Chain A
Amino acid sequence: MYRYDEFDEKLVCERVEQFRRQVERRMSGELTEDQFKPLRLLNGLYMQLHAYMLRVNIPYGSLSSKQMRVFAHVARNYDKGFGHFTTRQNIQYNWVKLEEVPDLLKELAEVEVTAIQSSGNCVRNITADQYAGRAAEELADPRPYCELLRQYSLLHPEFSYLPRKFKISVTGSPTDRAAVALHDIGLRMHLNSSGKMGFEILVGGGQGRTPFIAHTIREWLDPEHVLSYVEAILRVYNIHGRRDNIYKARIKIVVNQMGIDKYRELVDEEWERIKDGSLNVPQKEIDRINDYFAPPVYETLEDVSDDLDSLREISADFDRWMNSNVVAHKSAGYSIVNITLKAPDRVPGDITADDMDALADLSERYSFGEIRVSHRQNLTFVDVQQRDLHSLWQDLDAIDLATPNLGQLTDIICCPGLDFCSLANARSIPVANDINQHFLDVDRLALVGDLTVNISGCMNACGHHHVGNIGILGVDKRGKEFFQLTLGGSSDEGASLGDRLGRGLPQEDVPEAIEAIVDRYLETRNDGERFLDTYRRVGIKPFQNAVYGDVSTKVVA
């Protein structure tokens, strides 16, 4: 993992002290709320429905057990005993008090965690594949580049007042777990025709009320130019992005109004001018940062199968969990283990302080004390010895964190919704709970297989409904909450936006509509087809018939 040196540490401390002075000026009345707002937002502090909410960064989704324990401590001492993992590798605290935030930030800074730029119109937390450096099929570890970009974007003097927020995500694997095509800039590592590793650069993806899949602005970029190319994209955006309407201010709007070819022309012209300047990243500097991300020292092991097979025969629960939550590792004898925060009685992404502490302990016992956070609001142990899998499963099961539903329809992405958020139109958490209660049969869930359900409480799309295989959007119609379903969205490689199924449904009808969609899929699928594959083959009609035909009596006119 990356460790702060004296420079990183000093900057973060200076930032905490700057914010402490700003809070003092606010408390004394020297600053009005209007003047204070942009300052607190650059430190991740929002005013929500009931209280201040603090959003904390987990750069590229990588956490140490020590950091997790501090998250637990913060949850207990500054919040109501829990935290909420978001879709951008952040943790949010919903009940903080303004006057306590400087001390809270100081405690986080001591374990190299910040809330800097977790909100505001600036470059946000740099996110990555949660299996970075470990996935069996990965080409290269994206984290050294994420760290370069983290430092580059932190308090950037030119780009701290962009037209709108700016999100960057990086994947080093052909399997996209970082949703790179739904980011303002997405970086995908791949080999060029001469076998050299570089980046495909995507630009202008995003969700919200005007969703777009990103365009490829450059097929392949030498890693030494990654910062200068990002700077050229940012500079063109800072100058040409719209400032007259916040709903049209994201880079996706400029790129799509101007056209990707014109945008590329402007970026390339600027990049040619700066590419061999001081932003050039020589191999020696990449190597220096790469050393921080060296894998732990693995034991020389063989893949374990016989022992596990017999344990799987004894316990159907263990077998289910192995099938759904355990993933191939690049090192023999090791596995990647996912811990979903999506049990039937849970708020998706929420975690208590006690569970944080328990997971910190388990990560030290089983996975070198490292925990990853995924954009699907789950946690991951990335270095578990296969011979320990059964005992880890027992330990997780004992604290109700062995729910075997990774990637299944109850592994729901969900925004905080109207229960917390001042923007929401509808309550999203109760819909997630209803779906969970409706689909309690774990064998049926396993039979259905990969199917992502994403729920947003409003068109700002924090719950990623546009890219759920089934997307659910809360809307307000004449003071009543309705839910609009979309099908066929995906944030993975070959990303797509969902198609609108039909009229909105009242909350109580959502689970049955999903049931009808799932039934139609099971009748229609060919062997080995995921829901998304079947949908892409047969289109939306059969599913419209399933929902609005068979359950037409429930559809609201």
Chain B
Amino acid sequence: MALINNGALVEDDFVYLDDDANLPEDDAVIVSLERWQASRENLLRRSAPIGLLLKSDQLPECIGEGLQRLAVIALEFPAFRDGRAYSYARLLRDKYAYKGELRAVGDILLEQLHFMVRTGFDSFEFETDDPLRDFEVAASDFSVWYQPTGDGRDTASELRWRHLDPVLSTCPVAGPKRTDNASGWRSFLARRA
């Protein structure tokens, strides 16, 4: 399975650890929510990175204490039709202020990558002949966005107001942005100030 992380094809440093497998001392592992809940302290005691796989019926609120120490949260799409993880990604980024790697795994259509990028995912496990090229094409299908999703992109509404009213401080539709993405509205404002 190929892994695209922040727009690059990379080696996966993590292995998925079965619930009954021994915990290695030095390897980066991704564990189930059940194992996380049962042995959180033991998992966090190590210095090696730890990740968590949430199944589509496991809500982010189940993660609890230690969330910010997770290096990866992998959200599962058991079928491409099951869109719960888009909302989990939004919640993890916006409500729980999770800054680590957010990985999409499971049944993923290329056409969905664009939506995943916009909802806060930054890494993707999928298999095609040329994953990097396919990712780049799929992630750039669109250049106009209506919804503020906290991904730092300017919405059509913001761009309209910037055009109508170049005095940016009066822009009525600028909302808070999550990332410090250079194209973000807030950093744009900061540069102009």
Chain A residues engaging chain B, CB cutoff 8 angstroms: 5, 7-8, 10-11, 14-15, 18, 22, 35, 38-39, 121, 151-152, 154-163, 235, 238-239, 243, 273-274, 277-285, 288
Contact (Cβ within 8 A) B81 A157:
no
Give complex CA distance A249, B82 in Å: 12
Contact (Cβ within 8 A) B83 A160:
yes
- CB contacts (< 8 Å) of A14 on chain B: these are 141-144
Which residues of chain B (154-173) have a CB below 8 Å from chain A? 155-157, 159-161, 164, 172-173
Contact (Cβ within 8 A) A160 B115:
yes
Contact (Cβ within 8 A) A285 B175:
no
Contact (Cβ within 8 A) A7 B160:
yes
Contact (Cβ within 8 A) B173 A285:
yes
- CB contacts (< 8 Å) of B114 on chain A: these are 157
Contact (Cβ within 8 A) B84 A243:
yes
Give complex CA distance A154, B141 in Å: 14
Q: Given the known A-B contacts A10-B143, A121-B81, A243-B84, are A157 and B175 also in contact in the complex, defined by CB atoms under 8 Å?
A: no
CB distance from A313 to the nearest CB of B (A): 55
Give complex CA distance A162, B87 in Å: 10
Choice from A18, A22, A152, A162 contacting B83 with Cβ under 8 Å: A162
Q: Mark contacts of B69-88 with chain A using CB atoms, 8 A cut-off: 1 yes-contact digit, 0 otherwise.
A: 00000000000111110111
Give complex CA distance A7, B117 in Å: 20
Give complex CA distance A157, B157 in Å: 16
- CB contacts (< 8 Å) of A160 on chain B: these are 83, 86, 115
Q: Given the known A-B contacts A35-B109, A161-B83, A239-B84, are A279 and B148 also in contact in the complex, defined by CB atoms under 8 Å?
A: yes
CB distance from B189 to the nearest CB of A (A): 13
- B123 located at the interface, meaning its Cβ lies under 8 Å from any Cβ of chain A in the complex: no
Can you offer 27 A-B residue contacts whose CB atoms are under 8 A? A7-B159, A8-B144, A10-B143, A10-B144, A35-B109, A151-B146, A157-B114, A157-B115, A158-B115, A158-B119, A161-B82, A161-B86, A162-B83, A163-B83, A238-B84, A239-B59, A239-B87, A243-B56, A243-B82, A243-B84, A277-B148, A277-B176, A278-B175, A279-B148, A279-B175, A282-B173, A285-B161
Contact (Cβ within 8 A) A278 B148:
yes
Q: Given the known A-B contacts A7-B144, A278-B148, are A159 and B83 also in contact in the complex, defined by CB atoms under 8 Å?
A: yes
- CB contacts (< 8 Å) of A277 on chain B: these are 148, 175-176
Choice from A151, A239, A273, A281 contacting B156 with Cβ under 8 Å: A151
B77 — nearest CB in chain A belongs to which residue?
A161
Contact (Cβ within 8 A) B146 A154:
yes
**Extra inter-chain contacts (9) besides given A14-B143, A38-B80, A285-B157, CB under 8 Å:** A18-B141, A152-B147, A157-B114, A158-B86, A160-B115, A243-B56, A278-B174, A281-B173, A285-B173
- B25 located at the interface, meaning its Cβ lies under 8 Å from any Cβ of chain A in the complex: no
Give complex CA distance A199, B90 in Å: 26
Contact (Cβ within 8 A) A38 B157:
no
Contact (Cβ within 8 A) A8 B80:
no
- B18 located at the interface, meaning its Cβ lies under 8 Å from any Cβ of chain A in the complex: no
- CB contacts (< 8 Å) of B95 on chain A: these are 273
- B103 located at the interface, meaning its Cβ lies under 8 Å from any Cβ of chain A in the complex: no
Contact (Cβ within 8 A) B86 A8:
no
Q: Given the known A-B contacts A35-B109, A157-B118, A285-B172, are A11 and B87 also in contact in the complex, defined by CB atoms under 8 Å?
A: no
Band of interface residues on B: 35 or more
- CB contacts (< 8 Å) of A162 on chain B: these are 83
- B99 located at the interface, meaning its Cβ lies under 8 Å from any Cβ of chain A in the complex: no
CB distance from A284 to the nearest CB of B (A): 4
CB distance from A44 to the nearest CB of B (A): 16
Give complex CA distance A35, B107 in Å: 11
B117 — nearest CB in chain A belongs to which residue?
A157
CB distance from B137 to the nearest CB of A (A): 9
- CB contacts (< 8 Å) of B80 on chain A: these are 38, 161
By CB atoms of chain A within 10 A, which of B82, B141, B164 has the most? B141
Give complex CA distance A288, B160 in Å: 10
- CB contacts (< 8 Å) of A158 on chain B: these are 83, 86-87, 90, 115, 119, 147, 149
- CB contacts (< 8 Å) of B156 on chain A: these are 7-8, 11, 151
Contact (Cβ within 8 A) B148 A238:
no
Give complex CA distance A277, B173 in Å: 10
- B40 located at the interface, meaning its Cβ lies under 8 Å from any Cβ of chain A in the complex: no
Q: Mark contacts of B125-146 with chain A using CB atoms, 8 A cut-off: 1 yes-contact digit, 0 otherwise.
A: 0000000000000000111101
A277 — nearest CB in chain B belongs to which residue?
B175
- CB contacts (< 8 Å) of A239 on chain B: these are 59, 84, 87-88
Give complex CA distance A3, B88 in Å: 35
CB distance from A320 to the nearest CB of B (A): 46
Contact (Cβ within 8 A) B82 A278:
no
- B177 located at the interface, meaning its Cβ lies under 8 Å from any Cβ of chain A in the complex: yes
CB distance from B118 to the nearest CB of A (A): 4
Contact (Cβ within 8 A) A157 B111:
no
Q: Given the known A-B contacts A235-B90, A238-B84, are A157 and B149 also in contact in the complex, defined by CB atoms under 8 Å?
A: yes
B89 — nearest CB in chain A belongs to which residue?
A158
Give complex CA distance A158, B141 in Å: 16
Give complex CA distance A154, B156 in Å: 12
- CB contacts (< 8 Å) of B82 on chain A: these are 161, 243
Q: Given the known A-B contacts A278-B148, A278-B176, are A11 and B81 also in contact in the complex, defined by CB atoms under 8 Å?
A: no
Contact (Cβ within 8 A) B146 A238:
no
- CB contacts (< 8 Å) of A11 on chain B: these are 142, 144, 146, 156
- CB contacts (< 8 Å) of A7 on chain B: these are 144, 156, 159-160
Contact (Cβ within 8 A) A280 B86:
no
Contact (Cβ within 8 A) B146 A155:
yes
- CB contacts (< 8 Å) of A281 on chain B: these are 173
Choice from B115, B118, B175 contacting A280 with Cβ under 8 Å: B175
- CB contacts (< 8 Å) of A284 on chain B: these are 172
CB distance from B77 to the nearest CB of A (A): 9
- CB contacts (< 8 Å) of A154 on chain B: these are 146
Contact (Cβ within 8 A) B86 A238:
yes
B138 — nearest CB in chain A belongs to which residue?
A18
B82 — nearest CB in chain A belongs to which residue?
A243
Give complex CA distance A282, B173 in Å: 7
B174 — nearest CB in chain A belongs to which residue?
A278
Give complex CA distance A33, B52 in Å: 35
Contact (Cβ within 8 A) B59 A157:
no
Give complex CA distance A285, B143 in Å: 22
Give complex CA distance A129, B54 in Å: 43
- CB contacts (< 8 Å) of A279 on chain B: these are 148, 175
Give complex CA distance A155, B117 in Å: 13
- CB contacts (< 8 Å) of A285 on chain B: these are 157, 161, 172-173
